[in-house]
């Protein structure tokens, strides 16, 4: 029997869609869901530490959001155009030692455009030309700047591309700080949308978690604007996910493999960390430690360093998927009919998720990016 998108609909009063983050961040509410029994409990997020154990590994997505929303105008007519930077189009190296840089980006565009259209930006030397329609909802756009010069301008004139359900002036500068995790790595800039499950953590809470003996490691998944895209097919299996770039360091892989061997849990913070871990080649990691999958004893002290993995993934997780790596998930409350709701339903079971969401609605939990949290364990 085919899974249908309409089966993942639910009623949500508009007033429960969070418009601002909790203050402080770790004072958001937390719904605990036991994925085996379906039992739920209600807490505040700072109490998550009571449900994390020594030997567990907490996996964060350290990708940093950049101001991907640009407001421009057509050079010929002055008509408004919004450009949402999605991802760079790969450039070829001219020399082995040269870092490839490109002026061409894959973008989402708001406004009527066509190939050859020139776009300018107020009080900025930045200009762009529409190259072509990719016929998948995105366009190729070529800018007149690249590298450090490009990023300097983007950080000056760009805005955070807030989800459409956050209703306010899109130019509010406070969102440049609010719409970012406290552990975002300035060396890992690349997300057009935030890994929002990480919003609930403060530096103080992370310090307390480490002190308890919980290992904290980071992976990287650069979140694309496709995360906002609705599922337009009737049958789930016909939906195609946007590809996103991911990286897993050798250190992170070692800690995760060790937890698997010693009985610790691998706890993903957010669906992006979950998808990163589930998409990685763990047999390849394990082979470097001269082990047979996860079964043989890991001699971590004697083993050589593991090689990092970096790749593009379009992994789509929905009910029926068998999780290979993660044991638990910290996540937000997701949009109806979204791929994220399908992922949590795969982990906890659709009936349990349906019941938990009904509880959350009746208990006035706050939903979506700036909303409250759920811990599925």
State residue 297's pLDDT score.
46
Q: Residues 281-307: pLDDT tens digits?
A: 999 998 887 654 444 444 444 455 789
State residue 299's pLDDT score.
44
State residue 301's pLDDT score.
47
Q: Which residue has the higher pLDDT, 229 or 110?
A: 110
Tokens, residue 306 = 């593991």
Mean pLDDT of 146-174: 84
C-alpha dist (Å) from residue 121 to 131, 143, 155, 206, 344: 17, 11, 13, 40, 41
Q: Whole-angstrom Cα distance, residue 170 to residue 331?
A: 25
State residue 119's pLDDT score.
97
Q: Whole-angstrom Cα distance, residue 368 to residue 199?
A: 11
Mean pLDDT of 76-95: 79
State residue 175's pLDDT score.
84
State residue 32's pLDDT score.
98
Q: Whole-angstrom Cα distance, residue 81 to residue 72?
A: 5
Q: Whole-angstrom Cα distance, residue 328 to residue 31?
A: 13
Q: Bridge partners of 247?
A: 220, 310
DSSP 205-273: HHHHHHHTT-EEEEEEE---GGGGPPP-SSBGGG--PPPEEEEE-HHHHHHHHHHHHHT--EEEESHHH
Q: Do residues 267 and 309 lie in contact, with contact meaning Cβ atoms separated by under 8 Å?
A: no
Q: Residues 164-215: pLDDT tens digits?
A: 899 877 556 578 889 999 999 999 999 989 999 999 999 999 999 999 999 9
Q: Residues 130-142: pLDDT tens digits?
A: 999 998 888 999 9
**Which part of the chain has CATH 3.40.1780.10?**
5-65+176-376
Q: Residues 49-75: pLDDT tens digits?
A: 999 999 999 999 999 999 999 999 999
Q: Whole-angstrom Cα distance, residue 240 to residue 262?
A: 37
What is this structure's pTM? Answer: 0.88
pLDDT at 115 over 80: yes
69-158, which class in CATH?
mainly beta
Instruction: Please give the mean pLDDT across all residues of the chain.
Output: 90
| Closest CA relative to residue 12, chosen from 374, 370, 372, 366 | 366
Considering the chain, what percentage of its residues have pLDDT values greater than 90?
A: 77
Q: Which residue has the higher pLDDT, 269 or 89?
A: 269
Mean pLDDT of 314-332: 97
**Confidence label for 1 from pLDDT (cuts 50, 70 and 90):** low
State residue 287's pLDDT score.
84
Q: What is the residue whose two structure tokens read 């030692």?
A: 97
State residue 290's pLDDT score.
65
Query: 59 Cβ partners below 8 Å, 6+ apart?
Result: 217, 218, 219, 252, 256, 266, 267, 268, 269, 273, 277, 326
Q: Whole-angstrom Cα distance, residue 192 to residue 272?
A: 13
Q: Whole-angstrom Cα distance, residue 316 to residue 121?
A: 37
Considering the chain, what percentage of its residues have pLDDT values greater than 70?
A: 90
State residue 173's pLDDT score.
59
Mean pLDDT of 106-130: 94
How many other C-beta atoms can be found within 10 angstroms of the C-beta atom of residue 138? 20
Secondary structure (3-state) at 282: helix
C-alpha dist (Å) from residue 151 to 38, 81, 131, 157: 47, 20, 20, 10
β pairing state of 215-221 and 57-61: parallel
Query: What length is written for the chain?
Result: 377
Mean pLDDT of 107-126: 94
Mean pLDDT of 221-246: 87
State residue 88's pLDDT score.
86
Q: Whole-angstrom Cα distance, residue 5 to residue 318?
A: 11
State residue 171's pLDDT score.
58
Q: Whole-angstrom Cα distance, residue 68 to residue 245?
A: 16
Q: What is the residue whose two structure tokens read 């995760």?
A: 256
Q: Residues 239-282: pLDDT tens digits?
A: 989 889 999 999 999 999 999 999 999 999 999 999 999 999 99
| Closest CA relative to residue 16, chosen from 355, 362, 315 | 362
Q: Residues 33-47: pLDDT tens digits?
A: 999 999 999 999 999
**Which part of the chain has CATH 2.40.10.240?**
69-158
5-65+176-376, which class in CATH?
alpha beta
State residue 178's pLDDT score.
92
């Amino acid at each position: 029997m085919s899974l249908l998108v309409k089966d993942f609909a639910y009623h949500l009063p508009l007033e429960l869609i969070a418009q601002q983050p909790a203050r402080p961040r770790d004072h958001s509410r937390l719904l605990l869901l036991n994925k085996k029994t379906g039992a739920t409990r209600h807490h505040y997020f700072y109490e998550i530490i009571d449900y994390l154990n020594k030997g567990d590994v907490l996996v964060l997505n350290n990708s940093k959001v950049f101001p991907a929303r640009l407001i421009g105008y057509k050079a010929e007519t002055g008509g408004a155009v919004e450009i949402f930077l999605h991802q760079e189009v790969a450039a070829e190296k001219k020399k082995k030692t040269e870092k490839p840089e490109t002026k061409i980006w894959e973008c989402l565009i708001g406004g009527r455009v066509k190939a050859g259209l020139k776009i300018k930006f107020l009080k900025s030397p930045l200009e762009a030309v529409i190259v072509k329609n990719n016929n998948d909802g995105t366009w190729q756009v070529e800018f007149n700047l690249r590298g450090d010069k490009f990023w300097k301008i983007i950080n000056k004139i760009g805005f955070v591309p807030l989800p459409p359900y956050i209703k306010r002036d899109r130019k509010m500068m406070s969102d440049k700080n609010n719409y970012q995790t406290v552990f975002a790595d300035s060396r890992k800039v690349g997300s057009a949308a935030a890994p929002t499950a990480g919003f609930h953590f403060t530096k103080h809470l992370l310090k307390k978690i480490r002190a308890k003996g919980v290992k904290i490691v980071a992976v990287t998944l650069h979140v694309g604007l496709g995360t906002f895209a609705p599922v337009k097919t009737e049958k789930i299996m016909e939906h195609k996910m946007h590809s996103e770039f991911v990286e897993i360091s050798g250190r992170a892989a070692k800690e995760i493999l060790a937890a698997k061997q010693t009985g610790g849990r691998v706890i993903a913070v957010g669906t992006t960390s979950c998808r990163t871990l589930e998409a990685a080649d763990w047999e390849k990691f394990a082979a470097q430690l001269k082990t047979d999958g996860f079964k043989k004893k890991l001699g971590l002290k004697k083993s050589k360093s593991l090689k990092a993995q970096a790749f593009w993934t379009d992994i789509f997780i929905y009910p029926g998927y068998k999780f290979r790596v993660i044991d638990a998930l910290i996540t937000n409350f997701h949009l109806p009919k979204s791929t994220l709701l399908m992922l949590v339903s795969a982990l906890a079971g659709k009936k349990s998720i349906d019941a938990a969401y009904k509880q959350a609605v009746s208990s006035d939990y706050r939903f979506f990016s700036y909303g409250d949290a759920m811990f599925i364990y």
